[in-house]
Structure 1
Amino acid sequence: MARSVYVTGIDRGDGRQAVELGVMELLTRQVDRVGLFRPLVHAEAPGTPGADHVVELLRARYRIDLPPADLYGLTYEEAAALQAAQGQDELVSVLVDRFRALERRCQAVLVLGTDFADTNIPDELAFNARLANEFGAWVLPVVGGRREDPDSVVAEVRNAYRAYTDLGCSTLAMIANRVAPAAKQPVLRGLNAKLPVPVYVVPEELALAAPTVAQLVEATGAELLLGDAAGLARDVRGFVFGGAMLPTFLGALTEGALVVTPGDRADLLIGSLAAHAAGAPPIAGVLLTLDQHPGADVLALAARLAPGTPVAVVGEGSWPTAAALTHVEGMLSAASPRKAEIALGLFELHVDTAELTSRIELSRSDRVTPMMFEHELLEQARAARRHVVLPEGTEERVLRAAEILLRRNVCDLTLLGEVDAVRRKAASLGIVLPAEGAAEGSAENAADRARLRIVDPAASPLRQRFAELYAELRAHKGMTVELALDLVTDVSYFGTLMVQEGIADGMVSGAVHSTAATIRPAFEVIKTAPGAAIVSSVFFMCLADKVLVYGDCAVNPDPNAQQLADIAIQSAETAAQFGVEPRVALLSYSTGTSGSGVDVDKVRKATELVRQARPDLLVEGPIQYDAAVDERVAATKLPGSAVAGRATVLVFPDLNTGNNTYKAVQRSAGAVAVGPVLQGLRKPVNDLSRGALVQDIVNTVAITAIQAQNQSGAPAQSHDQEAAR
């Protein structure tokens, strides 16, 4: 059984880096030790930082902890010299030895074939085929279809398949990449009936081809005068060369354009930045020519007008600068994580990842790493897409998470906030949000893509309806419609009411709001689920080789025995929803009958209540933490227990113990803590830490979507449908 995939091509410009990224994503979902090997590299010293931008991207993104030098074979120069002196057999032998040394330490290996660019390798296709055969790897050929008509793409894919097959390769599938969107279906029709392996057609994505401002600054040797990392990461989607008077010039500006103008045109510099600040339209940056530096007062004004927007200066005039700019294409690298998300979203939309994974036939690892758990969350959420509302629509981390969620097709989203403010903020960060209600991607795939709504609670037609509903729910507290009209413009209340009314399936907030501000509306409006005595929480603690569920570490300070039993049952059900087999340990400072006291008796009573309510659950308590998770300790303290030493759900006796323990494990053991995940509500609402990272927000939204899948059979109706009722 082949444990490696060799991604290769037939020529330059096929954009296979996106495919390599997608295949690595598939491999890391299945096994926890995936290797990466580039047989030949354009670099003086393989293994040094930046030796190969794709290797560096994959190594960083997928936390490949192998020595960087072990991921490479030889430089092209070394390979050419070795082949000239001793022949290709010796060259292949050296590369196979280096590959085998890596393979022995991995469960699977992704091999990145040669790039057909100044390689000095005779018959490069045959050389890649030979290496794949010697490595015992599946071959995944990628054929570029940019600017090709459908018939030409079909012919090239068939020829490539025949070429690799005739050379003895085991072909995993064929991918036609960077095909014009309108040509996708004709290409599929032309290939599916003619090849015995799966064929996938991935259309051209302009956002991948667009260079970043940072790339263009580097390519032109420009001196950066203003700008921050976020501004430099913006995609450049066009160029506007400024020479006209300001009124005419402003009419020529386009969203995402790089303005190129002589450095002595302070009016165009300030005018374009003012337009950007107003969002009419947001630009990528400004490149000044002729080595003309604006005065200090002009630069100071520019910095205040559009903070973070790049302004750079080059020594050349407009013509040579234009020639240098137009030859730069976007590329995937560790410095462009946004492009990686775009590439993965494109790959997952157009490639049948389940089919491809099944053909690779890797045995899934028994270990569950944090990365594997995060992959599974996105897959599960994507399987039955739900609609999640994010109240903090102008917060940078939320916007970056929203872009990832939409690109990866995880769920439909509503962002709350004043519409122009949300879009201006996104544009200033270089984030491209789809048009209102539109799906990302081509019209052909619109029905399959995640959609975005941006809603201003103060201007929404739902405001009156929500005010009446809230006044009715809280009438016993003296609430009136007049008071509620103001209250429901609060984004937390508005988002909660969207969930209550089925306009959204769940809500995630807390990046800038307190926990109380997030969950108080849920307690007032959504309330507890039938059969749930209280609302509680869990953290998914992703350790190096397994996932544990900790509850309750965020909500209930000192639960009594009945509440503790309810927390244990809720936590077991949450664990099962996310693929963690529940074996429940109710923790205490003593194990079994070894101790007594009020605190131990509470845990003992809670354990009895769990067994009465859910005799199907495996539960143990009171039990100490070490006896719950360490089989050697369990054999001494509680032999014969079905839970001791193997517990997956750990229930703490109080908030003090739980909160401190999860943070200690997170910091000391390097665990990834995902949560808190609220449980016990009728509909899912989840809170974020105010220090949440973008990936934390992505994970929490995915969890919320999965909770919604388990709580209702049908996704929420769209905002437009509801507003029309």
Structure 2
Amino acid sequence: MASSVYVAGLGPGVGKGTVALGLVELLSRQVARIGVFRPLVSGTGEDPLLTLLTTRYPVVAPYAESFGVTVAEASALVADGKREELISRIVERYREVERQCGSVVVIGSDFSDGQDDGHDELPRELAFNARLATEFGSVVVPVVSGQGKRTDLNAAVRSAYHSLVDLNATVLAVIANRVSEGVTPPDGLPVPVWAIPEVPAIAAPTVAEVAAALDATVVTGGEAALDRDVLDYVVGAAQVPAVLDHLTDGALLITPGDRADLLVAASAAHAAGNVTLAGLVLTIGEFPDPRAVRVIERLNTGLAMLVVQSDSYHTISAAGRIAAKLSAGTPRKVEAALGAFEKHVDTAELTRLLDVTRSSRVTPLMFENDLIDRARADRRHLVLPEGTDERILRATETLLRRGVADLTLLGDPAEITRRAREFGVEIGAARLVDPATSGWRDGFAEKYAELRKHKAVTLDLAYDVVRDVNYFGTMMVAAGLADGMVSGANHTTAATIRPAFEIIKTVPEVSVASSVFFMLLADRVLVYGDCAVNPDPDAAQLADIALSSAQTAAAFGIEPRVAMLSYSTGSSGSGADVEKVAAATALVRERRPDLPVEGPIQYDAAIDPGVAATKLPESVVAGKATVFVFPDLSSGNNTYKAVQRSANAVAVGPVMQGLRRPVNDLSRGATVKDIVNTVAITAIQARS
């Protein structure tokens, strides 16, 4: 089952509420825990559609948790140049809903729908919705208006599909809504296209909605009268015969309150069955003559009579702008909408598509949120040796609040507490341990001396060594007092990982520990190895790096297709470096015949399908590689930094691999976000 379906309306008044309602109804029959979400709400009262869905269905999150931000909040962030913060806030709110659900229906934003109130700085709606759908990992169902379209509906449908695909969205199906009778949607698109006809009972506002929009006083009429659909407006300004000629079924008569003749005549026509009116609106704040009201009441029309303060011109102008909304207060509309959806959409085919369709794109935000979710699902205990560093303390607060991992901070507890208080950080749930005074120090010293006796390490020397926070933290991991360690914010890479090489060591089948970077590009995640540890690995070591990198990729949900990089592709070049890569590739194939691997191969042939079609047309890896293994540290380190800077990619790592227990290194320029991501990665590694 697709975990998220994003309903995106292309333009105002397309009726995406009908599609959202139909999808929730469909999924609610198959998914025990369903969620609904709106990225933006107006903030000027509860959103009617969101209220309807959160009250009608057994959704896991209440209304207050089922939206991202208000339009005003979004506008303020964009005006301040904080568009990415806007996206992050919405995605974080969405993830809170998604974590609880088997499937989520997202109803796209409406901020350009009639907004003339200073919110024009917001991003363009289509691109904004496409970006969010990609960040959520949603498949998209665009809704196109068919209202008034006959010859140009095909163009609108095709444009919707291709526009979203061009914006990297994964389109599930296209729905044309409010389609005129006799108009059929196009075929020939790679996804289904369904057409829902114009249904007046859905598109028309109710008398209650008109009353609310006009701030009217209800003179007569109960709930049933207010629930009538307004299909037309007629202004009563002429004489009675002329007005009677213009009355139509479902019309709302708008007339000055002193026109008792028109009120009585229209009511009589309704009571006689000549016409079925929606109701009566009296303008200029004038209440009708009581004698006329008594006559109308005796006719027992059941019509609502409203009084507004504006004149007829401004009343009809305002009424024409009222859009119908599906809401908990319009049960008839809800049933009509569900009926239209189920009648005109092939729900069996839609169910099948939802079962098999997944968004194939992975954005940096998606990957980062997935790390948090996976770490939280199987919570581990990690040690952070640099307990007094401000970034570590702020990351600790975030990690504990989000439940990513249990944490031990190393350092003087009094100093850690003082620093946390200084920064206004809450770390109360963290365990604080001072290596200098810890009761574990003696045992760690004995163990380290035993491990390093071949290097003439005495007990006294070991006692001094394990006081170092990185050695102490590594000993905690080796002793099972922590599941993993993250350090490096204030230490070199060597200082962080040397204790791991000495104490934890590599897994038996791997000759060398290595590292990878997760390269988070705009729409996918690649794995680069080794870019941080081994300067010039030989063929056997290079094969180990490739196998470890493939295993790491698979552990984080990336299907491994391994490219063994060189300065030539296939047999086009020669030399010792090419031969080393060729030998390493042969070793990988021998040890893992099931693993897709190609080498030697140049970077362009590994990543670009066009180049691959020319250089290695039969390869299952060329043009589709996800794991890139560099022949030496120089090429790997420079390439990851070049891609990071020139492609605006996020580089997460280095992530150590090949060790018996996870220990990971931070850059000394690491941000709080980097630390949170690295801790989550380490927690996930600790599960395997």
1:167 to 323, 330, 333: 330
Given that 1:49 and 1:56 are in contact with CA atoms closer than 8 Å, whether structure 2 keeps it comes out as no
* Residues 1:510 and 1:24: Cα distance change in structure 2 (over 3 Å): farther
- RMSD value over aligned CA atoms? 3.9
Counterpart secondary structure, 1:512: coil
Counterpart secondary structure, 2:369: helix
- Structure 1 position 487, deviation (Å): 1.6
- Structure 1 position 472, deviation (Å): 1.1
Residue in 2 aligned with 1:463?
441
2:597 aligned with 1:619: yes
1:57-72 to 2 correspondence within 5 Å? 58-59=86-87, 61=89, 71=111
Counterpart secondary structure, 2:687: helix
* Residues 1:11 and 1:23: Cα distance change in structure 2 (over 3 Å): closer
1:210-359 to 2 correspondence within 5 Å? none
Counterpart secondary structure, 1:165: coil
**Residues 96-122 of structure 1: CA deviation (Å, up to 9, x unaligned):** xx9789758864899xxxxxxxx9996
Amino acid at match of 2:421: A
Residue in 2 aligned with 1:483?
461
Residue in 2 aligned with 1:379?
373
* Residues 1:53 and 1:520: Cα distance change in structure 2 (over 3 Å): closer
Given that 1:393 and 1:415 are in contact with CA atoms closer than 8 Å, whether structure 2 keeps it comes out as yes
Residue in 2 aligned with 1:492?
470
Q: TM-score, normalised by structure 1?
A: 0.53
Residue in 1 aligned with 2:7?
3
2:391 to 397, 404, 412: 397
Residue in 1 aligned with 2:631?
653
* Residues 1:685 and 1:99: Cα distance change in structure 2 (over 3 Å): closer
Amino acid at match of 2:545: I
* Residues 1:50 and 1:374: Cα distance change in structure 2 (over 3 Å): closer
**Residues 569-617 of structure 1: CA deviation (Å, up to 9, x unaligned):** 0100000000000000100000001111111000001000110111110
* Residues 1:481 and 1:104: Cα distance change in structure 2 (over 3 Å): closer
Given that 2:134 and 2:362 are in contact with CA atoms closer than 8 Å, whether structure 1 keeps it comes out as no
2:403 to 409, 412, 419: 409
Given that 1:397 and 1:693 are in contact with CA atoms closer than 8 Å, whether structure 2 keeps it comes out as yes
Residue in 2 aligned with 1:536?
514
**Residues 508-565 of structure 1: CA deviation (Å, up to 9, x unaligned):** 0000001111011111110111111000000000111111100000000000111101
Residue in 2 aligned with 1:221?
none
Counterpart secondary structure, 1:606: helix
1:552-563 to 2 correspondence within 5 Å? 552-563=530-541
2:647 to 651, 662, 669: 669
Residue in 2 aligned with 1:603?
581
Given that 2:445 and 2:462 are in contact with CA atoms closer than 8 Å, whether structure 1 keeps it comes out as yes
* Residues 1:382 and 1:655: Cα distance change in structure 2 (over 3 Å): same
Residue in 2 aligned with 1:578?
556
- Structure 1 position 366, deviation (Å): 1.3
**Residues 222-269 of structure 1: CA deviation (Å, up to 9, x unaligned):** xxxxxxxxxxxxxxxxxxxxxxxxxxxxxxxxxxxxxxxxxxxxxxxx
Residue in 1 aligned with 2:339?
none
Residue in 1 aligned with 2:361?
367
Q: CA–CA distance in 2 between the matches of 1:537 and 1:676?
A: 6
Given that 2:489 and 2:670 are in contact with CA atoms closer than 8 Å, whether structure 1 keeps it comes out as yes
* Residues 1:531 and 1:77: Cα distance change in structure 2 (over 3 Å): closer
5+ long unaligned stretches in structure 2: 9-36, 52-60, 93-108, 137-211, 217-222, 228-325, 336-353
Amino acid at match of 2:455: K
Q: CA–CA distance in 2 between the matches of 1:613 and 1:431?
A: 49
Counterpart secondary structure, 1:568: helix
Counterpart secondary structure, 1:3: strand
- Structure 1 position 483, deviation (Å): 2.0
**Residues 474-513 of structure 1: CA deviation (Å, up to 9, x unaligned):** 1122222222222211100100000000000000000000
Amino acid at match of 2:7: R
* Residues 1:72 and 1:431: Cα distance change in structure 2 (over 3 Å): farther
Given that 1:47 and 1:71 are in contact with CA atoms closer than 8 Å, whether structure 2 keeps it comes out as no
Counterpart secondary structure, 2:669: coil
- Structure 1 position 365, deviation (Å): 2.1
5+ long unaligned stretches in structure 1: 26-35, 80-93, 111-118, 131-162, 172-359, 439-451, 711-725
- Structure 1 position 402, deviation (Å): 0.9
* Residues 1:563 and 1:73: Cα distance change in structure 2 (over 3 Å): same
Q: CA–CA distance in 1 between the matches of 2:614 and 2:328?
A: 59
**Residues 622-681 of structure 1: CA deviation (Å, up to 9, x unaligned):** 000000000110010011101000000000000000000000000000010000001111
Counterpart secondary structure, 2:362: coil
Amino acid at match of 2:562: V
Given that 1:631 and 1:644 are in contact with CA atoms closer than 8 Å, whether structure 2 keeps it comes out as yes
**Residues 320-367 of structure 1: CA deviation (Å, up to 9, x unaligned):** xxxxxxxxxxxxxxxxxxxxxxxxxxxxxxxxxxxxxxxx99964211
* Residues 1:582 and 1:486: Cα distance change in structure 2 (over 3 Å): same
Given that 1:3 and 1:107 are in contact with CA atoms closer than 8 Å, whether structure 2 keeps it comes out as no
Q: TM-score, normalised by structure 2?
A: 0.55
- Structure 1 position 73, deviation (Å): 5.4
Amino acid at match of 1:3: V
Given that 2:134 and 2:363 are in contact with CA atoms closer than 8 Å, whether structure 1 keeps it comes out as no
Q: CA–CA distance in 1 between the matches of 2:81 and 2:608?
A: 42
- Structure 1 position 58, deviation (Å): 2.6
Given that 1:37 and 1:72 are in contact with CA atoms closer than 8 Å, whether structure 2 keeps it comes out as no
Given that 1:538 and 1:571 are in contact with CA atoms closer than 8 Å, whether structure 2 keeps it comes out as yes
Amino acid at match of 1:679: Q
Given that 1:37 and 1:99 are in contact with CA atoms closer than 8 Å, whether structure 2 keeps it comes out as no
1:696 to 646, 656, 674: 674
**Residues 122-171 of structure 1: CA deviation (Å, up to 9, x unaligned):** 69xx9xxx9xxxxxxxxxxxxxxxxxxxxxxxxxxxxxxxx953434989
Residue in 2 aligned with 1:521?
499
* Residues 1:669 and 1:101: Cα distance change in structure 2 (over 3 Å): closer
Given that 2:362 and 2:524 are in contact with CA atoms closer than 8 Å, whether structure 1 keeps it comes out as yes
Amino acid at match of 1:411: A
Q: CA–CA distance in 1 between the matches of 2:130 and 2:551?
A: 39
2:566 aligned with 1:588: yes
* Residues 1:75 and 1:630: Cα distance change in structure 2 (over 3 Å): closer
* Residues 1:366 and 1:584: Cα distance change in structure 2 (over 3 Å): same
* Residues 1:414 and 1:24: Cα distance change in structure 2 (over 3 Å): farther
Amino acid at match of 1:58: L
Given that 1:70 and 1:102 are in contact with CA atoms closer than 8 Å, whether structure 2 keeps it comes out as no
Residue in 2 aligned with 1:29?
none
Counterpart secondary structure, 1:485: helix
Given that 2:91 and 2:135 are in contact with CA atoms closer than 8 Å, whether structure 1 keeps it comes out as no
1:165-204 to 2 correspondence within 5 Å? 165-168=328-331
Q: Percent identity?
A: 59
Q: CA–CA distance in 2 between the matches of 1:588 and 1:20?
A: 55
Q: CA–CA distance in 1 between the matches of 2:478 and 2:675?
A: 22
2:674 aligned with 1:511: no
Q: CA–CA distance in 2 between the matches of 1:105 and 1:419?
A: 44
Given that 1:3 and 1:108 are in contact with CA atoms closer than 8 Å, whether structure 2 keeps it comes out as no
* Residues 1:75 and 1:588: Cα distance change in structure 2 (over 3 Å): closer
Q: CA–CA distance in 2 between the matches of 1:410 and 1:642?
A: 37
